[in-house]
Every structure is written in C-alpha cells, then in structure tokens.
C-alpha cells in the first residue's frame, strides 16, 4: 500500500456512486462527467441507469458498476441472476450484489454461497463484488460470509450497502482482509465522506472505495 496518497492514486480506487431512490437523469449524467474528469475507477448506479452510463462513458476508462438484489439481498436467486445478466448486456463491467442476509442469519451458508455462485455465472467476464452488509452480522458471520464469497469465486467482498443500520469501519476491513488474504479484493463503502475516511479504509486493507463524495475526497488531496 502506498504510504503517501495523491489525488491520482486515490482517484483510481473510487467507485463514484449515486444510489439514491430519487436520483435524476441529470444527476447521473453529472456523475459520469465527474468520474471522467477525475479518472475514477467507475460510476456505481442503480440498474435502470446502466444503459445511460454505458453511453456517457463510452470511449473512457471509467467502468460502469451497478447493484444487484439491492439493498436488502432478499430477492430470489433467479431474480438476481436475471438482473445481473441484463445489466451486463446493457454495459455493466462490475456488479455489486447483496448476499441473502436472511439465510446468513439463519446459518444457511450453503444457500448464501449458491446465491453468490449463480450471480457470478450470470456475470460472465464482469467483476462481482459481494456485499456482506457488516452492520447486521457478528464477526463470526462476517468471516463465514467472506468464506462463502471465496468459495463461490467472487472477485471482491464489500462492507456495506450504505442503506443498512451502519456503514463501514476500519476494523471490519481488517477482519475481512485477515479472512480473504490476497485471494479477494475488498471494497469499503458506506459513510466514507472525506479523504481521511478513505485513507483510513485503504490503509486498513481496502482496494476500492465506494462513495458519493468522490469529488470532495480527491479535492482535499495533493496532486
């Protein structure tokens, strides 16, 4: 991990996000403009906006990321599969899926794993990030969720939707890194609003930052 974060190095870790229910077309277009201007890793939007973002970002290095089974994770696996397949067809490069939290809390880790695996199959070459929604899980359950994601073949595990009872914290990132080692990457999201927040998560072991405050974060950093 770099000791000194610059505007350029931290920008490459940011999924520039707008997932609010009432996000407008203009806000999504502005998100894409900001992402290109700052060389962010991706824009992260609800599935409806994927085609628009794919058009707006065509020819740029900024990826299109969307969310699956969001924010509750309680959709049937077949629905998550179809949602994933459609999003990828429409131009999504990455999908952030929410695990079946009810199954997790019931101790049904086989169902959790299979749910993830089927989404990964549907995603094809797209990157799959698995949101384990730490605020609802014990440390033991967080560990088991990360293990399920690894067994299923995920690319990332992720801390939070930002819509639960809590966001992310450095201790959770450290725990996740301890579980996944170098086998999976980690995305920290939920409540990351400043460059101090972002650097804390990156230094704890995160590879990607999900934030709606990406422009503010990089504006506070040196070139």
Q: What is the pLDDT of residues 208-219, one digit of tens each?
A: 999 999 999 999
Q: What is the pLDDT of residues 7-62, one digit of tens each?
A: 999 999 999 999 999 999 999 999 999 999 999 999 999 999 999 999 999 999 99
**Which sign does the torsion angle of CA 74, 80, 82, 83 carry?**
positive
Q: Residue 220 — very low, low, confident or very high, per pLDDT cuts 50/70/90? A: confident
Say if residue 5's pLDDT is above 90.
no
Q: What is the pLDDT of residues 74-127, one digit of tens each?
A: 999 999 999 999 999 999 999 999 999 999 999 999 999 999 999 999 999 999
Peptide bond into 142 cis (omega under 30): no
CATH 3.20.20.450 assigned to domain 7-219? The reply is no
| Distances, alpha carbon 49 to alpha carbons 28, 108, 195, in Å | 8, 33, 27
The confidence score (pLDDT) of residue 1 equals: 44
Q: Which two tokens stand for residue 187?
A: 């995305």
Say if residue 3's pLDDT is above 70.
no
Rounded Cα gap, residues 14 and 71, in angstroms: 20
Overall average pLDDT of the 173-201 stretch: 96
The confidence score (pLDDT) of residue 38 equals: 97
The confidence score (pLDDT) of residue 222 equals: 72
Overall average pLDDT of the 124-144 stretch: 98
């Amino acid at each position: 991990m770099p000791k000194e974060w610059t505007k350029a190095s931290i920008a490459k870790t940011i999924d520039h996000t707008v997932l609010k229910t009432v996000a407008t077309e203009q806000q999504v277009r502005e998100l894409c403009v900001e992402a290109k201007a700052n060389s962010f890793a991706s824009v992260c939007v609800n599935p409806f906006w994927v085609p628009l973002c794919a058009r707006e970002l065509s020819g740029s290095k900024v990826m299109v990321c969307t969310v699956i089974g969001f924010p509750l994770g309680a959709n049937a696996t077949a629905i998550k599969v179809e949602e994933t397949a459609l999003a990828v067809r429409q131009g999504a490069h990455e999908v952030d899926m929410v695990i079946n939290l009810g199954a997790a809390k019931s101790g049904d880790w086989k169902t959790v794993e299979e749910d993830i695996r089927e989404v990964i199959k549907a995603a094809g070459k797209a990157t799959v990030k698995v949101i384990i929604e730490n605020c609802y899980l014990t440390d033991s359950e967080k560990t088991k969720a990360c293990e399920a994601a690894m067994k299923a073949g995920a690319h990332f595990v992720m801390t939070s939707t930002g819509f639960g009872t809590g966001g992310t914290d450095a201790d959770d990132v450290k725990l996740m890194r301890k579980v996944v080692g170098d086998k999976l990457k980690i995305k920290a999201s939920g409540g990351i609003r400043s460059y101090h927040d972002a650097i804390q998560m990156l230094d704890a072991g995160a590879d990607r930052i999900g934030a709606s405050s990406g422009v503010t974060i990089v504006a506070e950093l040196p070139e």
